[in-house]
């Protein structure tokens, strides 16, 4: 498999407030290096690779000219600049109609928003565009020469009629986007092309190796954690945080607070709540305030482990300190790009341990908002599995169990989206008959963490207070 452009591990340029861009050519260079390193370290014969899977960050806008050259840096998932453009489009198209067609509201994060911004502010670049791609699909183009995508990743563009799993001619027409600019659509395990001779020379892969459609990082990550049947839910903390539930049909939230997307399995969908700055909140603290007193010493310890050790010095509830993790605006449940981060409840007696613990708890509170909406929409929750960097911290795992008030599970393989892409490639190569069969064979639970009753009771009460913070501060954010 190939995992592309994950913003969790790659820096991005921010030429303006709330802007986020990356150069697609950098992804392709990194892909070449990563694949060659993988082949060298694993000693796998490229001839034994049955299929290549793809995954990567969602929502990005990669725009190419007639020669398939990059027109401008990709505007990626967390970019907030297009609020005016998408609000205007939503009013013009009809906000309720947009939710019915695309199963999602007009938000700054979606690919359509970035395209509308380019047309409005960079007309010279707009005139050059002849092709639009998502981040992982740019790598597909480099690998195979083919323009293709999967319905799960395409769901995050706001250009897909999600219930029908096809591009929306109605939205494309209203947005003035030629249909021929878009790639062909496939289910995630379908074969979309083969590694070209040129790409084989650059990567070390064998020419002609099949390439599967793959999926965006969230759907692929869910497959990698076995979240393929209704009732199964994953919570993944990377740069953003995502609560992901598999469903048998599009479970539409009339308020648009949850995303409703196609899943990476045929005839299956999922709902997804997103916290914009989940792991990013902790990384921001580390970058701005250091990872403890010994952060300048190269002791070989993970700085996040040192931060967790500090947080553990504070009791559950952080003695009244709350963190609101809206460093990049917020999606679920507020749909507010102007929301801002905040600490509340600080006293002179509080210190770094309280502040760090409040970050871990505040992110969990924000993710619990999605579970509250699941309950409202009667979306079943039978099992909760944790993934991403946040799942590596024993303290953060326990905090999540306490905040959700439910047992949580870890799976053996931590690679998440990469593992899911490999599973989907295995289905594409006919190693398994379906993703369900593959997950039964390849996904195993390694640990279960139960809530601590006293801590869970306190954090349930604190969550009620947390939910009052955004309404109280909203006028200040605006």
Count of positions (residues) in the chain: 478
State the angle between helix axes of 217-224 and 417-428 in degrees (0 to 180), rounded to the nearest 10: 80
Q: Which token pair is 439?
A: 């997950």
Count of alpha carbons within 13 angstroms of residue 229, beta-carbon side: 9
Question: Rounded distance, CA 404 to CA 137, Å?
Answer: 35
Q: Which token pair is 219?
A: 């759907």
Question: Rounded distance, CA 311 to CA 391, Å?
Answer: 16
How distant, in Å, are the alpha carbons of 6, 81, 270, 353 from that of 279?
A: 13, 22, 22, 17
How distant, in Å, are the alpha carbons of 300, 330, 350, 365, 391 from that of 304?
A: 12, 24, 20, 20, 12
Given CA atoms 405, 407, 413, 416 in this order, what sign does their dihedral have? negative
Contact 58, 112 (CB under 8 A): no
Question: Rounded distance, CA 230 to CA 130, Å?
Answer: 39
Asked about 217 being catalytic, the answer comes back as yes
* Residue in 79, 137, 153, 217 annotated catalytic: 217
CB 180: neighbour CB atoms within 10 A? Answer: 7
3-state DSSP helix/strand/coil percent for the chain, to nearest 5? 45, 20, 40
Question: Rounded distance, CA 364 to CA 9, Å?
Answer: 21
Catalytic residue numbers read 217
């Amino acid at each position: 498999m190939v995992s592309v452009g994950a913003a969790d591990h790659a820096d991005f340029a921010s030429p303006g407030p709330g802007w986020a861009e990356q150069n697609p050519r950098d992804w392709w260079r990194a892909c070449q290096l990563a694949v060659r390193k993988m082949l060298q370290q694993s000693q796998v014969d490229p001839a034994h690779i049955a299929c290549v899977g793809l995954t990567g960050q969602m929502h990005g806008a990669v725009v190419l000219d007639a020669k398939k050259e990059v027109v401008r840096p990709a505007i990626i998932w967390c970019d907030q600049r297009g609020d005016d453009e998408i609000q205007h489009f939503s009013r013009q198209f009809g906000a309720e109609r947009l939710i019915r067609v695309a199963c999602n509201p007009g938000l700054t994060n979606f690919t359509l928003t970035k395209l509308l911004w380019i047309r409005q502010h960079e007309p010279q670049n707009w005139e050059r565009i002849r092709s639009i791609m998502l981040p992982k699909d740019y790598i597909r183009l480099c690998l195979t020469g083919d323009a293709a995508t999967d319905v799960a990743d395409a769901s995050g563009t706001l250009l897909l009629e999600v219930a029908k799993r096809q591009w929306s001619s109605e939205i494309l027409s209203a947005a003035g986007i030629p249909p021929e600019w878009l790639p062909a659509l496939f289910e995630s395990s379908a074969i979309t092309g083969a590694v070209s001779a040129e790409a084989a020379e650059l990567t070390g892969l064998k020419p002609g190796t099949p390439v599967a459609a793959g999926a965006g990082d969230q759907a692929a990550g869910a497959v990698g954690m076995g979240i393929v049947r209704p009732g199964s839910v994953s919570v993944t903390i990377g740069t953003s945080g995502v609560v992901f539930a598999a469903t048998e049909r599009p479970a539409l939230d009339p308020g648009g607070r949850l995303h409703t997307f196609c899943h990476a399995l045929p005839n299956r969908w999922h709902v997804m709540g997103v916290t914009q700055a989940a792991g990013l909140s902790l990384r921001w603290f580390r970058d701005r305030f250091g990872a403890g007193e010994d952060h300048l010493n190269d002791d070989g310890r993970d700085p996040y482990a040192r931060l967790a050790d500090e947080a553990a010095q504070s009791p559950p509830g952080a003695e009244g300190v709350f963190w609101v993790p809206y460093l990049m605006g917020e999606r679920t449940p507020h749909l507010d790009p102007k929301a801002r981060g905040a600490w509340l409840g600080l006293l002179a007696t509080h210190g770094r341990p309280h502040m760090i613990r409040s970050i871990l708890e505040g992110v969990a509170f924000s993710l619990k908002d999605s579970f509250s909406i699941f309950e409202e929409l009667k979306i079943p929750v039978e099992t909760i599995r944790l993934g991403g960097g946040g799942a590596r911290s024993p303290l953060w795992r326990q905090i999540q169990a306490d905040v959700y008030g439910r047992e949580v599970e870890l799976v053996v393989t931590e690679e998440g989206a990469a593992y899911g892409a490999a599973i989907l490639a295995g289905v594409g190569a006919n190693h398994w008959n379906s993703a369900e069969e593959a997950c039964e064979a390849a996904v195993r639970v390694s640990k279960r963490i139960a809530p601590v009753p006293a801590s869970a009771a306190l954090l349930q009460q604190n969550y009620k207070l947390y939910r009052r913070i955004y309404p109280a501060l909203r006028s200040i954010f605006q």
